[in-house]
Structure 1
Amino acid sequence: MAFIEVDHVKKIYGMKFNRSTAIDNISFVIDPGEFVGIMGPSGAGKTTLLNIMSTIDKPTFGHIKIDNQDVTQYDEKKLSEFRRQKLGFIFQDFNLLNSLTIRENIILPLALDKLNVATIEEKLANIATVLNLNTILERFPNEVSIGQQQRAAVARAIITEPKMLFADEPTGSLDSKAATELLQYLTDVNEKQKMTLMMVTHDAFTASYCKRIIFIKDGHVFAEIRRDGQRKDFFQKIIDMQAAIGGGEQ
């Protein structure tokens, strides 16, 4: 059974004579444990689609089912609870709170869920070790590097052990070394924890870590490719598709 079902989703902005269709009748599914990328030219609707699928925004028409629940029918209170229980988010600008330490930023979702201190500390210790964050836990976001901020954002996203992780241009602010380390970690999370991942990116190298890429253009699904061999071969397929679709620039 599919973990996510996108069913004839359409998103229209504006009113009457000033209407713009960002997503136009898109349908596809994501199976449990998949690592799926969304690519397309600037203005194709990539981030709009991610926002709708991750319950940050609502479609004008159509339905989104996650774990067999139609989240498009939920009110904001129920959506908020659903997000905390099942979804994780990694944003390009990290969204860390500058007034909180790295430790406090990471454990914030657990504190909101009112977990006991011992459980929070155990989860923090595990994630901080895996992501090499132990030496910066008491620092503030503006006191650490961009790569460390991104790793902290990843830790916050997955400390709740979500079933689904959404990432919007997660390597956009990172140098090549930090980007590769992050992508390898996301691959490990996907393969070892069977966490389902969906990532929006314009970068072919980043996308090559996915197992499937859905390309969209002008709000429609343009094409889809799957990785069935080496990552470098998949990278070339992505480059070729970007050329066919008209570029993958942001």
Structure 2
Amino acid sequence: MEKIIEIQHVSKSYGYLLNKVKVLDDLSFSVNKGEFVGIMGPSGAGKSTLLNVISTVDTPSSGLVKISGKNILEMRSGQLSDFRRRKIGFIFQDFNLVESLNVKDNILLPLAIDHIPVHTMEERLQHVAEILNIEKILTAYPAAVSIGQKQRVAAARALIVNPMLIFADEPTGSLDSKAAAELLQYMSEMNRQDRATIVMVTHDPYTASYCNRVLFIKDGSFFSEVVRQGSREQFFNQVIDMQATIGGGNRLDHF
């Protein structure tokens, strides 16, 4: 399998001298092309920091980060900005939509910035809108659509650049259960149809059950992983058992 992400001995600290706090501690793992990987752990474990480091938003204090064989720590700021815009898609919990643009223009924004031909933009728009079931709201503005629809718009904007990687930080955190399930089904479809490689931070076992593999970190260090081999419900049970173990709590079923 082709490794699209390679993390080698990555650590991240904030502060100086006696006030230094280590958030990530000697983490090493890889993600293969086409995987849907979850990152879980207790509050303060370093999940979002790890995602920021992998996604080029932040830099590690030490260690190596490679994406598709390229050492991103050796890239200049301009190169890194272009790489991030053209090769990586982001799905945030707060959507980050431009309220003055309609849904269509929000989705097309990254392509417009790169001066992609109009016919190519329209073809890609049709494809992602169909996958995410948002064809009927393309002319609407963000204020006029539901929270679940906003998150699907954000997912479409991430997918339309044909990224080699999609990073999602608690993408279902602000959604009700129905909207969350719909978004996760669409993300699974993106992973299956377009072979999109997805790395997602979540605290929720139900959300994680849509992944192929879940990495657990605790206090900034690797704790364990679970790999999906049977049904999604079976995988959910594995995830929730590991979450109870890492958090020291009791098992709670809510599949």
Which TM class, normalised by the smaller chain length? over 0.9
Once the two structures are superposed, the pairs formed by residues 135-146 of structure 1 within 5 Å of their partners are: 135-146=136-147
Structure 1 residue 130: Cα displacement = 2.5
Structure 1 residue 173: Cα displacement = 1.1
Structure 1 residue 247: Cα displacement = 6.3
2:81 match = 80
2:66 match = 65
Which has the larger displacement, 120-129 or 50-59?
Answer: 120-129
1:157 match = 158
Which has the larger displacement, 58-67 or 178-187?
Answer: 178-187
Structure 1 residue 163: Cα displacement = 1.0
Change (3 A) 1:151 1:16: same
TM-score under structure 2 normalisation?
A: 0.94
Structure 2 CA distance, aligned partners of 1:77 and 1:178?
Answer: 37
1:127 match = 128
Once the two structures are superposed, the pairs formed by residues 95-114 of structure 1 within 5 Å of their partners are: 95-114=96-115
Structure 2 CA distance, aligned partners of 1:132 and 1:187?
Answer: 14
Where 2:3 maps in the other structure, the secondary structure is: coil
Structure 1 residue 138: Cα displacement = 2.1
Where 1:48 maps in the other structure, the secondary structure is: helix
Of all paired residues, the percent bearing the same amino acid is 55
Where 1:3 maps in the other structure, the secondary structure is: strand
Where 1:167 maps in the other structure, the secondary structure is: strand
Aligned residues: 248
Structure 2 CA distance, aligned partners of 1:247 and 1:108?
Answer: 45
Structure 1 residue 241: Cα displacement = 0.6
Residue by residue over 1:161-198, the C-alpha shift from the partner in whole angstroms, topping out at 9 and shown as x without a partner, is 11111111111111111111111111111122211111
Which has the larger displacement, 24-33 or 131-140?
Answer: 131-140
> Which ranges of structure 1 fall in alignment gaps of 5 or more residues?
none
Structure 2 CA distance, aligned partners of 1:242 and 1:209?
Answer: 16
Which has the larger displacement, 197-206 or 10-19?
Answer: 10-19
TM-score under structure 1 normalisation?
A: 0.96
1:30 match = 31
1:5 aligns with 2:6: yes
1:20 match = 21
2:41 match = 40
Where 1:150 maps in the other structure, the secondary structure is: helix
> Which ranges of structure 2 fall in alignment gaps of 5 or more residues?
250-255
- In 2, are the aligned partners of 1:40 and 1:247 still within 8 Å (CA)? no
Where 1:96 maps in the other structure, the secondary structure is: coil
Structure 1 residue 244: Cα displacement = 0.6
Over the aligned positions, Cα root-mean-square deviation in angstroms equals: 1.2
Which has the larger displacement, 136-145 or 90-99?
Answer: 136-145
Structure 2 CA distance, aligned partners of 1:162 and 1:238?
Answer: 28
Which has the larger displacement, 47-56 or 13-22?
Answer: 13-22
- In 2, are the aligned partners of 1:90 and 1:170 still within 8 Å (CA)? yes
Structure 1 residue 97: Cα displacement = 1.3
